[in-house]
Structure 1
Amino acid sequence: MSSSTPDRDSQGRKKQVSSRRSDNRTRKLKEEIDQLKTGLLREKRRAERFRKRLQSLRNTKHKATSKKNTANGFRKAAANRRSVVEFLTRDENSRLLPGKKDTVSQNKVRVQRCVLTKSLKELYKDYKPKASDRNTCACIDHENVKLLLERIHQSGLIGSKSISDALIQIVCDVKNKKCMFRQCATCCYSEIEAALPQNPGLVTWQQWERERVCSEGKTFSHFVKRALTGTWEDLLKSFNEKLDALAKHQYIWIHQVEQCRALKNSLQDHEVVVHMDFSENYACKLNVEVQSFHFGGSRKQATIHTCMVYKSGMSQAYATISDSLRHDERAVWAHLKPVLDDILSDTAITTLHFMSDGPLTQYRNRKNFYLMCTLPFLRGIKEITWNFSEKAHGKGAPDGVGGSIKRSADAFVHQGGDIQGPQELFSFLEKSSSTVKFKWIAEDDIVRVDEAVPNALPVVKGTLGIHQITTDTPGKMCHREVSCFCLRLGLQCECGSPSLFDFHSGNAASSTSSTTSTTTEDLVGKMVIVSYDKKPFVGQVQNVVGEEIEVSCMQQIGKKNNFVWPQVSDVIHYFNSDVKAIIAEPEPSTSRSSKLSDEDWDTFVST
């Protein structure tokens, strides 16, 4: 019994020691676990800090990238917007409305409105980066072809109603002058062919036509929009004939616009472009008018001649106001004098480029040609060009200037002001905050220019077909059908077969080709001086048949500048060579008789 007790004690001690060791190991393990938990928590917190920092860096980079992309997007959108606006406001794609009410406000800035001359589909095709206004200045040639084309397209015979697409089908290249002038041997006889309807019958279409009206012995021309009826063959024949004639007109229009735009964009320091036009006369008005003034003949009118001057890197608008209602070529140079005085204060200017539309009574006539070949040289100018736009396509920046001036004057009257005459209009405009520079033209200024024009000047043949005149020698000029600026350091180039003319000799000088022929189709309805049995007669062109012109002549009373329309029409056919001059409409001198202008009377006497 005694021997077993120590064994039990030793076993108990062993168990206690083992238990203490186990507790120590457990405690150490718990401590290690706690340390690991603490370390893990610390690492988690550290990882969270790194995660947040990484996320912050990512967000910052994303914001910077997003901001950069947004800025780039805005810049690209602004650049595209400017590109589209520049494209749409080109002269061949739109035209400025000249009316004083034709405005639109953008960011509280009032600007002149523009009207597109083509459909958006056509413009979209012409736009290189990626492929309902009332029009009162439409071109009759384009409008008639458009009416025919729309009628044919409506019937399904032609897939497109675009004039440009129609021209592409009949010419090799719309940029080629020979093709568009119908002189190309390959395409000169091309025309649009269309399958006629299975049940052909009568068809109706609309056209603008000239209507002659006789009243009190006088013949007047009016334009009316008529509905014509015929067969489908008649419709297609008329369309092909008018489209064929339109090709030349279209080429000159686009070519003149492109050449003038290229000139403005590449001006050198010694060059200036002067784009001009007469604005419609402003009818002076008062805030409160008595009835007899409003409906009577007491209202005065003011002549407004507007110019846009372009230099290298800048432009400036000018407007000259006058109480003289003359719009002839001598009045033009009187209105140009103060503008040229301001321009030529810069002695570095040696080349002048004039741009205008082509009315025969204002810019495109021999007296204006003569003045252009003489007056600028007296001011030290060495080279001059005058570029005419194609008929019915002469609207531009000067028309917008005129509309802005009239709008400002009307706003002044509506606010209680009075503009009773041209002088009051000029005084108001001169004191206004407009950026346009205003000049006053007196009647004496025009009379002084009258003295610079000889009584008799030689006739420049082919005046109606001239679209550019250049001169670098006083009294001599070179003219061509379309403008060309390929030789910027010298005006004379061989492009377009130019013709030379010398005012001193009165004959066409030696030239590279024959003189441009007059477009006889444009004579219909115009007043002319014709020669019959070596005597001059004044008349109105009624019709053109081949090389003959049908003219209804007036009767001269005695040997004075007094003409009347006879009771029985005096209609005779003349040859083209019998037409000596194109003149302005005679002005009424009495209730029945009329008189020619001084210039036309001098031409009549010298014929």
Structure 2
Amino acid sequence: MKADRLKHLGIINSPSLSKVAEELCCDTQAKACMYRECLSCKNKSLTQTTSTGIAGTEATWWYQWLTKKEDYEKEKDGKRQKITVTKTVKQRCEGSPEHLLEDFEREMKAKVCKHLFNIHHQYTQLQFLHRSLKEEEAILHIDYAENWQCKYAKEVQQVHFGASHRQTTLHNAVVYTTDCTLTFCALSPSMKHDPPAIWAQLEPVLQFLKENHPRIQKLFFISDGPTMQYRGKKNFYLLSTIPFQMGFTAVNWSFLEAGHGKGPADGVGATMKRTADSQVARGTDIPTAKALYDTLLPLTKVKLLYVEEDQINRVSTLLPKELTTIKGTLSIHQVVCTTPGIIHYRVLSCFCSREVICPCFLPSSTNIAPQVQPGRDVRTSEPTAQEDVSHATSSSGCEGTLCPVDDITEDLVGKWCVITYDDDPYPGIIEDIEEGALEVNVMHNIGRNRFYWPRLEDKIWYTVDKVVTLIPPPEDVTQRHVQINPRVFTAVWEKINL
């Protein structure tokens, strides 16, 4: 939207981000240029099309997406209550054209050029993989579909509300070999979408390949990159163990760039849901995941699999309590494993060599197997909350009472932190992460160091600069109110008000 506005004002030549990247970089096909590492173009700026410049010109406006908090009052039991909610809105912003251009150029250099290169490179490499596929190799393009809501052909009004309808998880896979293309859809009543659920749903697919295509020894997975599903240490551990236990000799997993992970697997899920909706419209009741499986089985050529909750729980028991956390997990786009427990990873995918790990994009390696600490049995001992905070403090290299977030890793999920909003501190629990941002479920305040959980969840994405510190869980003050450790709170307050 900023590019469109700059083009409308005649400040840039094209609203196309690819065209803008060409102006900022020597070569848009070169990683060093697009990652702003090239000495020749890293400091290059956009050329203005206006001959007189834009400094001092009249103010303008543009649209951009913003996340903000809004307050409204709700009446309950005859009393008015103040409720705060978070919303993502398309907002009109005003400022000078000079400020708009500076903001746009800063975003292009910081994120967009890198993002555009990753998109193009990943798709190019995967096209090469498809064209050069060998007899002993198979490509598995996988993805979750949005859960399908079970339903009746006819139902009373009360069924429409509340939790009367169950849901079914659909995990889809399209498998490519040199002589055929296979489609799979795993149906499950479990709402879990974590690595144990993924591998419980993948095991029948791999078993089918082992029995019907025994020549396949190497697996190439393609997926998007959510950290709670595919791009995380639990999935790295399972991909380095389960396939080898089943007789495969190598696993190669590539992640598509964020926001660009759609593919043929999504079409499989859409077909299954459309077929199910068609059957309900014809008078068939489908109230459970098992009923959905039985209904679809005779109607589709897609290989259907039914996965019970117990199968997922069984895979969960394979996970150790402690796993090696890889720094920079969110920037990883390829993981390769040829030896159980040892993974190689890099920022971008490369398939120029299948027999050995090629040196392209400087791959690193690690032993993802659990690292046992003296005095603790990782099979039975859970780290305490204090140990969690101590570990976070030591790994972040912080001093004193504050522990800032220096690197976003999946280990942050579930930890307490303090975020700043309108120069006020709020404690909350980190619930999800992505590159450069954390989703935090935040408490509300009722005094300088008194906080409580609101009736409606205040869950919002915050950039790393808004996270002041990691903290131990707040201390109970009353049955509903808590406080941050006073020593920590004082340090937080001083930092915010510097």
Q: TM-score, structure 1 length as denominator?
A: 0.61
In structure 2, the partner of 1:565 is: 443
The one of 408, 415, 424 aligned to 2:282: 415
Residue 443 to residue 566, structure 1, CA distance change in 2 (3 Å): same
Does the CA-based 8 Å contact 2:322-2:371 persist in structure 1? Answer: no
Task: Name the CA distance, whole Å, in 2 between partners of 1:150 and 1:355.
Answer: 33
In structure 1, the partner of 2:295 is: 428
Residue-by-residue CA offset, 1:376-424 (whole Å, 9 max, x unaligned): 1111111111111111111111111111111111111111111111111
Matches within 5 A, 1:215-226: 222-226=87-91
The 3-state SS of whatever aligns with 2:416 is: strand
In structure 2, the partner of 1:554 is: 428
Residue 541 to residue 330, structure 1, CA distance change in 2 (3 Å): farther
Residue 487 to residue 208, structure 1, CA distance change in 2 (3 Å): same
Task: Name the CA distance, whole Å, in 2 between partners of 1:182 and 1:541.
Answer: 30
Residue 469 to residue 315, structure 1, CA distance change in 2 (3 Å): same
Residue 351 to residue 576, structure 1, CA distance change in 2 (3 Å): farther
Does the CA-based 8 Å contact 2:323-2:369 persist in structure 1? Answer: no
Q: TM-score, structure 2 length as denominator?
A: 0.74
Residue-by-residue CA offset, 1:60-114 (whole Å, 9 max, x unaligned): xxxxxxxxxxxxxxxxxxxxxxxxxxxxxxxxxxxxxxxxxxxxxxxxxxxxxxx
Task: Name the CA distance, whole Å, in 2 between partners of 1:527 and 1:202.
Answer: 43
Task: Name the CA distance, whole Å, in 1 between partners of 2:84 and 2:204.
Answer: 40
The one of 27, 30, 38 aligned to 1:184: 38
The one of 538, 541, 544 aligned to 2:416: 538
Larger relative contact order, structure 1 or 2 (CA cutoff 8 Å, min sep 6)? 2
Does the CA-based 8 Å contact 2:118-2:257 persist in structure 1? Answer: yes
What is the CA RMSD across the aligned residues, in angstroms? 3.3
Residue-by-residue CA offset, 1:560-579 (whole Å, 9 max, x unaligned): xxx983635879x9999976
Residue 188 to residue 404, structure 1, CA distance change in 2 (3 Å): same
Task: Name the CA distance, whole Å, in 2 between partners of 1:304 and 1:349.
Answer: 25
Offset at residue 213 of structure 1 (A)? 5.7
Offset at residue 154 of structure 1 (A)? 1.1
In structure 2, the partner of 1:81 is: none
User: In structure 1, what residue type is equivalent to 2:268?
Assistant: V
Task: Name the CA distance, whole Å, in 1 between partners of 2:196 and 2:269.
Answer: 21
In structure 2, the partner of 1:463 is: 329
Number of positions where the alignment pairs a residue of Structure 1 with one of Structure 2: 404
Residue-by-residue CA offset, 1:262-310 (whole Å, 9 max, x unaligned): 1122110000111111100000111111001122321111010011111
Task: Name the CA distance, whole Å, in 1 between partners of 2:57 and 2:227.
Answer: 45
Offset at residue 316 of structure 1 (A)? 1.1
User: In structure 2, what residue type is equivalent to 1:230?
Assistant: G
Residue 565 to residue 217, structure 1, CA distance change in 2 (3 Å): farther
Residue 537 to residue 402, structure 1, CA distance change in 2 (3 Å): closer
Does the CA-based 8 Å contact 2:54-2:98 persist in structure 1? Answer: no
Residue 413 to residue 384, structure 1, CA distance change in 2 (3 Å): same
Task: Name the CA distance, whole Å, in 1 between partners of 2:256 and 2:218.
Answer: 20
Residue 552 to residue 477, structure 1, CA distance change in 2 (3 Å): farther
The one of 161, 171, 176 aligned to 1:295: 161
User: In structure 1, what residue type is equivalent to 2:290?
Assistant: Q
Does the CA-based 8 Å contact 1:302-1:321 persist in structure 2? Answer: yes
Residue-by-residue CA offset, 1:470-519 (whole Å, 9 max, x unaligned): 011111101100001110222x1111011111124749xxxxxxxxxxxx
In structure 1, the partner of 2:65 is: 208
Task: Name the CA distance, whole Å, in 2 between partners of 1:527 and 1:320.
Answer: 26
The higher radius of gyration belongs to 1
In structure 2, the partner of 1:309 is: 175
In structure 2, the partner of 1:336 is: 202
Task: Name the CA distance, whole Å, in 1 between partners of 2:221 and 2:129.
Answer: 11
Residue 380 to residue 390, structure 1, CA distance change in 2 (3 Å): same
The 3-state SS of whatever aligns with 1:471 is: strand
Does the CA-based 8 Å contact 1:527-1:539 persist in structure 2? Answer: no
Does the CA-based 8 Å contact 1:217-1:565 persist in structure 2? Answer: no
User: In structure 2, what residue type is equivalent to 1:419?
Assistant: I
User: In structure 1, what residue type is equivalent to 2:229?
Assistant: Q
Does the CA-based 8 Å contact 1:179-1:188 persist in structure 2? Answer: yes
The one of 247, 253, 274 aligned to 1:386: 253
Structure 2 unaligned blocks of 5 or more: 73-80, 373-404, 431-440, 452-463, 472-479, 482-498
Offset at residue 198 of structure 1 (A)? 9.1
Task: Name the CA distance, whole Å, in 2 between partners of 1:257 and 1:184.
Answer: 23
Does the CA-based 8 Å contact 1:383-1:472 persist in structure 2? Answer: yes
In structure 1, the partner of 2:96 is: 231
In structure 2, the partner of 1:118 is: none
User: In structure 2, what residue type is equivalent to 1:207?
Assistant: Q
The 3-state SS of whatever aligns with 2:225 is: coil
In structure 2, the partner of 1:369 is: 236
Offset at residue 197 of structure 1 (A)? 5.2
Task: Name the CA distance, whole Å, in 1 between partners of 2:425 and 2:119.
Answer: 29
The 3-state SS of whatever aligns with 1:460 is: coil
In structure 2, the partner of 1:353 is: 220
* Structure richer in helix, relative to its length: 1
User: In structure 2, what residue type is equivalent to 1:210?
Assistant: T
The 3-state SS of whatever aligns with 1:344 is: helix
Task: Name the CA distance, whole Å, in 2 between partners of 1:250 and 1:399.
Answer: 22
Residue 210 to residue 296, structure 1, CA distance change in 2 (3 Å): closer
Residue 364 to residue 229, structure 1, CA distance change in 2 (3 Å): same
Pair 1:403 & 2:270 matched: yes
Residue 542 to residue 376, structure 1, CA distance change in 2 (3 Å): farther
The 3-state SS of whatever aligns with 2:105 is: helix
In structure 2, the partner of 1:167 is: 21
Offset at residue 466 of structure 1 (A)? 0.8
Offset at residue 178 of structure 1 (A)? 0.2
